[in-house]
Chain A
Amino acid sequence: MPSLKDLRNRISSVKATRKITKAMQMVAAAKLRRAQEAAVAARPYSERMASVLSNLASAMEGKAGAPTLLTGTGFDATHLLIVATAERGLCGGFNSSIAKIAREHADRLIGQGKTVKIITVGKKGNDALKRVYGKYIVDHVDFRNVKQMSFAEAQSVAHKVLLMFHNGEFDVATLFFSEFKSVISQKPTALRLIPADVSGGTPADLGGAVYEAEPEEGEILDDLLPRNIAVQIFRGLLENAASEQGARMSAMDNATRNAGDMISKLSIKYNRQRQAQITKELIEIISGAEAL
């Protein structure tokens, strides 16, 4: 049975914890709004890009000499997994759920006898994967000092990926990130980057006309596809940033509520024990008086 003093200490420490989680929740809420705005603002670019790409891809269909970024290398032997997670923890299941789908994907590929290479973006994903998949991790990108994701960061990742692709180090690239659905729901997602997935865009209605291309379609595609990789990674990073804050907000909300429950339980226990002690002392006094 803990003493009254122990209980008092317990209550004050839980109260301090609740203050911290409450503050973290509010900070996450403020950051979430900014991250959400950034994610929404970046949408037009990737949407237009997708529609232009699907226009071009349909024009290139069946023609020889389409870029390998679009059609793939023709092999399916080496897979590159780009796992984007957060730099910080305390955001519920956010990091572990991304790591989980990446792990499942990697296990499936390894089971099929394929070679797997992993690039981790963000410290937490690296921590989660390096114990078991350490030997597959070929690179790690750290954005710990980056406050607001900008296109330059995405480009630096895309640059690495493209360099590896041109050196023939992999055939298929997949990006893992968490799609921001709402504050309470983030969906871990796998997105194929190479060969490019062009099914997403809706071609513009030209009313029967055909695009004039300057330079040739193939050349535009050559120029556009590497950009598209950077854009997709950028989108993934922004969605991730919003999801992370959303996940942290709900995790911290839960923690605050749990701390509140705990405080009320401990307070009841404390009051009961205090009352019991008072009663005990009274009985001692009364029985002492009766004995006289």
Chain B
Amino acid sequence: MAGLHFELVSPARLLFSGSVASVTIPGSEGEMGIYPGHAPLLATLKPGVVTVFKDGGGSDRIFVRGGMVEVNPQGLTLLAEVAIPMAELDAAALARQIKNAEEDLADAKPGEAQRKATDTLNQLKALQSAL
């Protein structure tokens, strides 16, 4: 069975490109597992952990924030503003992210934007307590 072509792209560079068995992504409306042959999909992401299951077994965990995924017949593309491998993510880095999110919340206009910023902050805090 053909693998899933997975690309992880951040604004600064292409972080990962290759064939994998499957990928679990934190969609804004719930976790999703993407396997080869998935229907075309567009989704936004919430801050969370992407798990990449490699072809030969084993998996990588990568923290992502702010982005979206596109699934098309060519494969899965994940665009993330921030992507840090879980091994390199420590409390300090996460604290920085939380501080950013707090600033966003302070700047956000009341209503939709504020609600979104609050969500982001809460998700980050949940992740911090899980770490």
Q: Give residues in A with beta carbon < 8 Å to B.
A: 38, 41-42, 44-46, 48-49, 52, 55-56, 150-151, 154, 159, 163, 166, 204-207, 209-215, 217, 219-220, 223-224, 227, 230-231, 234
For the side of the interface on B, what is the size category? Answer: 20 to 34
Please report the C-alpha to C-alpha distance between residue A231 and residue B67 in the assembled complex, in whole angstroms: 12
Verify if B36 is at the interface (C-beta below 8 Å from A): no
B72 and A206 form a contact (CB under 8 A) = yes
A151 and B39 form a contact (CB under 8 A) = no
A52 and B70 form a contact (CB under 8 A) = yes
With contact pairs A52-B70, A214-B27, A234-B11 given, residues A227 and B81 touching in the complex (Cβ less than 8 Å): yes
> With A52-B77, A204-B72, A205-B73 given, can you name 16 additional A-B contacts, CB distance below 8 Å?
A44-B13, A46-B11, A48-B77, A52-B42, A56-B42, A150-B12, A154-B11, A159-B107, A163-B107, A213-B43, A214-B29, A214-B43, A215-B43, A220-B42, A220-B68, A227-B67
Verify if B41 is at the interface (C-beta below 8 Å from A): yes
Please report the C-alpha to C-alpha distance between residue A169 and residue B67 in the assembled complex, in whole angstroms: 27
For B80, give the chain A residue with the smallest CB separation.
A45
Identify which of B9, B68, B109 contacts A44 (C-beta below 8 A): B9
* Number of CB contacts from chain A to chain B under 8 A: 93
Contacts of A56 in B (CB 8 A): 42
Q: Which of B40-94 contact A (CB under 8 A)?
A: 40-44, 66-68, 70, 72-74, 77, 79, 81
A206 and B41 form a contact (CB under 8 A) = no
Please report the C-alpha to C-alpha distance between residue A72 and residue B79 in the assembled complex, in whole angstroms: 25
Contacts of A227 in B (CB 8 A): 66-67, 81
SS class of chain A's interface: helix, strand, loop or mixed? helix
A215 and B74 form a contact (CB under 8 A) = no
B73 to chain A, nearest CB (A): 6
Contacts of B28 in A (CB 8 A): 214-215
Q: Give residues in B with beta carbon < 8 Å to A.
A: 7, 9-14, 27-29, 39-44, 66-68, 70, 72-74, 77, 79, 81, 107, 109
Q: What are 22 A-B pairs with beta-carbon distances under 8 A?
A: A38-B12, A41-B13, A48-B9, A52-B77, A151-B12, A159-B107, A204-B70, A206-B73, A207-B73, A209-B73, A211-B41, A212-B40, A214-B27, A214-B41, A217-B42, A220-B43, A220-B44, A223-B68, A227-B67, A227-B81, A231-B11, A234-B11
Contacts of B66 in A (CB 8 A): 227
Identify which of A150, A210, A224, A230 contacts B68 (C-beta below 8 A): A224
Contacts of A41 in B (CB 8 A): 12-14
B81 and A151 form a contact (CB under 8 A) = yes
B44 and A209 form a contact (CB under 8 A) = no
Identify which of A42, A55, A166 contacts B13 (C-beta below 8 A): A42
A215 and B73 form a contact (CB under 8 A) = no
A209 and B40 form a contact (CB under 8 A) = yes
For B100, give the chain A residue with the smallest CB separation.
A152
With contact pairs A52-B79, A210-B40 given, residues A45 and B72 touching in the complex (Cβ less than 8 Å): no
Please report the C-alpha to C-alpha distance between residue A206 and residue B70 in the assembled complex, in whole angstroms: 12
B39 and A209 form a contact (CB under 8 A) = yes
Please report the C-alpha to C-alpha distance between residue A224 and residue B118 in the assembled complex, in whole angstroms: 18
A133 to chain B, nearest CB (A): 28
B11 and A212 form a contact (CB under 8 A) = no
Please report the C-alpha to C-alpha distance between residue A205 and residue B74 in the assembled complex, in whole angstroms: 8
